[in-house]
Structure 1
Amino acid sequence: MTASLAIDGGQPVRDSFLVFGKPCLGEEEEREVLDTLRSGWIGTGPKALRFEQMFAEYVGCKHALAVNSATAALHLSLLAAGIKPGDEVITSPLTFAATANVAIHAGARPVFADIDPATLNIAPENIERAITGRTRAIIVVHFGGLPCQMAEIMEIARQHNLTLVEDAAHAVGARYNGRLIGNLGNLACFSFYANKNLTTAEGGMVTTDDDAMAERIAVYRLHGLSRHAWQRYASRRLMLSDAIYPGYKYNMPDLLASLGIHQLRRVEDGLLTRERYARVYDEAFAEIPGVRLQPRPGDGLNRHGLHLYVLVLDLAHFRVSRNQIIDSLLAENIGAALHYRALHMHPYYRDTFGYEPEDFPAAASVGESILSLPLTPCISEQDAADVIEAVRKVLAGYRR
């Protein structure tokens, strides 16, 4: 007999709620933050610079520029690439709204290219079909941390003289053909939001080998000024700052960078832990009818970043919608989440650009059938067991 679901009044699997994406912060971060507070300088300064240098060395690129979000990183990348009104930027419809929003912020039109339904990443052949005379850039999304087919996409960008931006918000630590994500396209943009593999509470980073783009981003991110506050303060003499561009307030303060310095040192160990729990999930879910997993490379050269562990449901096997299934998991005290509804199904993109669900059928289908499960280095063996028990319980309770 199937156990009564908590949403229907039954006993939940857990007594306490398992938070999705709980950050793993330790004494090193606490000491560094306290040191920053006591230093008298909490804005953008020496620790942000140190974090940038560490991150550039980690991913293997010339420049890393810290900003206050991945959204800012993406926006500045398009501006540095010269994207302007009338241009088109191709991206995936299965992503967070910011990926497409930044094209609009730059005055361009976001153009979607459908995903590969197996990998959940943008399909190179669909990018090729979406290119027009107005296309100026491609933003690829490494969904969940799984690298896109970068060799094919880089060749498309080269042939059509397009700027290639990587939305690597999920992909800290991910590898493609032996190279860390962050030095493949022209620019790569990372998120350090609270639930990411590396967190600064809020924050992001742009990486690039292009000196001119790096210089533009450095100026754009802080009001378009030629010198920022720390440069003026550290000089101990009057140093005038000129407004070169109409810039933005996108800088990362030292208080946040203090977290990043130590978070970066833990990325590789954290990814090993994520992989261990992901293998436990894989074994538990692989044989459940109506459940499909995102593939993970196992060849040693390519590595999934495992920011997200997702299930894609075949809803023909269940009596209720994906949303009801997530609600039921939440009632079992499991912090399940949704990443993402396809953007062309959202009112703004649907109404502004006249999109229909069938325009990008793979993204539309996945966007109505995908869910994410808790997976961080902070969860315990018992937490993982509770996730498995709750998923089995809920899916069994709703099976046709």
Structure 2
Amino acid sequence: MSDVKQNFIPYGRQSIDEKDIQAVVEVLKSDYLTTGPAVQRFEEKVAEYVGSEYAVSFSNGTAALHGAVFAAGIGEGDEVITTPMTFVASANCVLYQGAEPVFADIDPKTYNINTDEIRDKITDKTKAIIPVDFTGQPVDLDEIMEIAKENNLYVIEDAAHAIGATYKDRKVGSIADMTMFSFHPVKHITTGEGGIITTNNRKLYEKLLQFRTHGITRDISSLSENHGPWYYEMQFLGYNYRMTDIQAALGASQIDNLDKFIEKRKEIVQKYNKEFSHLKEIITPYQSPERNSSWHLYIIQLKSELLSINRKGFFEKLRQANIGVNVHYIPVHLQPYYKELGFKTGDCPVAENLYEHIITLPLYQDMTDEDVQYVINIVKKLIVEHQIK
């Protein structure tokens, strides 16, 4: 096999079939393009799949998180605990409401938020926890929900990576007060852009619905007055965060293939693990026996002390071989904006150390056996070439 593959292999990408295309075409030919019946169908299918009472779709995952933070009543002067090992949206949504994100360090084995760190960070100002199911592996939900109950906090689970994952045989999306899923094209299923919040709480559900539509309601029982059947009220400052029927139709079609997509991802992970687990220069992902990951990302950790090439060099050589590796993530508190807010290097040493050693390898359901084997061969070749003699 050649050392250079002609076709670029990205770290992730969407999988669209003819059924998906036809679902979107049907909406384009219908009377509804924005928020209409397809959105409701998609929300119902997601709620049924994860086992939640309600689901509210949004224009993207960040907007969904913002809606959840609002629905939890979080505002100026409040604190929300989250992880630094995530995309910036998990913390930015707190800032949008004028509250302060507080970063709890991660577990060095799972890379998820450390529950002991959560307990240490709780103050009188803490109002919620936003744990992140990093790479698709659920956080310790029982422990986190217990912490929240003891301290009267909301749990807003950022499950952008974890649709289809299970925790102790329960689907992610049915356990936390609110759970966010993302439908960006690199995720398991896509709506182009899009996100959703699932919940079992009727009051939170109603707040989320109103928040995504400018704070407007037509619910007669909620109106302060009523001028007639046309009447509506904007009761608070909401946002235009609605999903379109075009997006929802794609998502409703995609979810029919979700379990198949996850199984394919697991097959690829098994091949990676089989080939990489015996290499002393690499740490493969840990998988808790009680948490069934849906495998959004496959991340290896390089033991740089055993290699004569650093992580940057390893990354560049993989890219030169047309393998679209990435790094997930730069710890949020190390971003320049967050440093201006007072966060600094040393705040979360476990996450900071992990960041220096990780690389994300390609993982998506349309990878061919040849693609997977090519990635394996190049990684192993680089390891052999750059071992310390």
TM-score of the superposition, structure 1-length normalised?
0.92
2:20 corresponds to which residue? Answer: 29
- Superposition deviation, residue 66 in structure 1: 0.6
1:168 corresponds to which residue? Answer: 159
How far apart in 1 are the matches of 2:106 and 2:288?
Answer: 18
Question: Contact 2:281/2:383 (CA < 8 Å) preserved in 1?
Answer: no
1:322 to 304, 311, 334: 311
Asked if 1:305 is matched to 2:312, the reply is no
Show the 5 A alignment for 1:365-384.
365-384=353-372
Asked if 1:251 is matched to 2:242, the reply is yes
Paired residue total: 380
2:271 corresponds to which residue? Answer: 280
Asked if 1:59 is matched to 2:59, the reply is no
How far apart in 2 are the matches of 1:331 and 1:249?
Answer: 42
2:323 to 329, 334, 345: 334
2:225 corresponds to which residue? Answer: none
- Superposition deviation, residue 214 in structure 1: 0.7
Question: Contact 2:298/2:360 (CA < 8 Å) preserved in 1?
Answer: yes
How far apart in 2 are the matches of 1:396 and 1:222?
Answer: 56
1:72 to 52, 59, 63: 63
- Superposition deviation, residue 322 in structure 1: 1.9
How far apart in 2 are the matches of 1:64 and 1:270?
Answer: 22
Q: Which runs of 5+ in 2 are unaligned?
A: 220-227
Residues 171-213 of structure 1: per-residue CA shift (max 9 Å, x gap): 0000001110001111000100011011111000000011111
SS at match of 2:294: coil
Question: Contact 2:334/2:343 (CA < 8 Å) preserved in 1?
Answer: no
2:108 corresponds to which residue? Answer: 117
How far apart in 2 are the matches of 1:183 and 1:42?
Answer: 30
2:222 corresponds to which residue? Answer: none
Asked if 1:183 is matched to 2:170, the reply is no
Residues 334-356 of structure 1: per-residue CA shift (max 9 Å, x gap): 11111101112221222312422
How far apart in 2 are the matches of 1:227 and 1:66?
Answer: 19
Q: Which amino acid aligns with 2:322?
A: N
2:377 corresponds to which residue? Answer: 389
Percent sequence identity is 37
How far apart in 1 are the matches of 2:339 and 2:270?
Answer: 38
SS at match of 1:359: coil
2:257 to 262, 266, 278: 266
2:74 corresponds to which residue? Answer: 83
Residues 117-143 of structure 1: per-residue CA shift (max 9 Å, x gap): 110000110100011111110000000
Asked if 1:137 is matched to 2:128, the reply is yes
How far apart in 2 are the matches of 1:273 and 1:354?
Answer: 40
- Superposition deviation, residue 227 in structure 1: 4.2
How far apart in 1 are the matches of 2:271 and 2:353?
Answer: 27
Residues 217-241 of structure 1: per-residue CA shift (max 9 Å, x gap): 101101111149xxxxxxxx96332
Q: Which amino acid aligns with 2:380?
A: R
How far apart in 1 are the matches of 2:347 and 2:313?
Answer: 26
Question: Contact 1:120/1:294 (CA < 8 Å) preserved in 2?
Answer: no
| Structure 1 residues 291 and 227, CA gap change in structure 2 (3 angstroms) | farther
Question: Contact 2:52/2:200 (CA < 8 Å) preserved in 1?
Answer: yes
How far apart in 1 are the matches of 2:334 and 2:355?
Answer: 9
Q: Which amino acid aligns with 1:74?
A: L
- Superposition deviation, residue 374 in structure 1: 1.0
Residues 295-323 of structure 1: per-residue CA shift (max 9 Å, x gap): 1245xx63101000110112212233323
Q: Which runs of 5+ in 1 are unaligned?
A: 4-10, 229-236
Residues 246-271 of structure 1: per-residue CA shift (max 9 Å, x gap): 11111100000111011111111111
Asked if 1:363 is matched to 2:354, the reply is no
Question: Contact 1:169/1:191 (CA < 8 Å) preserved in 2?
Answer: yes
Q: Which amino acid aligns with 2:303?
A: D
Asked if 1:49 is matched to 2:40, the reply is yes
Show the 5 A alignment for 1:195-274.
195-227=186-218, 239-274=230-265
- Superposition deviation, residue 15 in structure 1: 1.6
SS at match of 2:217: coil
2:224 corresponds to which residue? Answer: none
Question: Contact 2:155/2:178 (CA < 8 Å) preserved in 1?
Answer: yes
How far apart in 2 are the matches of 1:242 and 1:54?
Answer: 30
Q: Which amino acid aligns with 1:376?
A: Y
How far apart in 2 are the matches of 1:77 and 1:112?
Answer: 19
How far apart in 2 are the matches of 1:387 and 1:336?
Answer: 10
1:6 corresponds to which residue? Answer: none
1:152 to 130, 138, 143: 143
C-alpha RMSD of the superposition: 1.6
Q: Which amino acid aligns with 2:349?
A: P
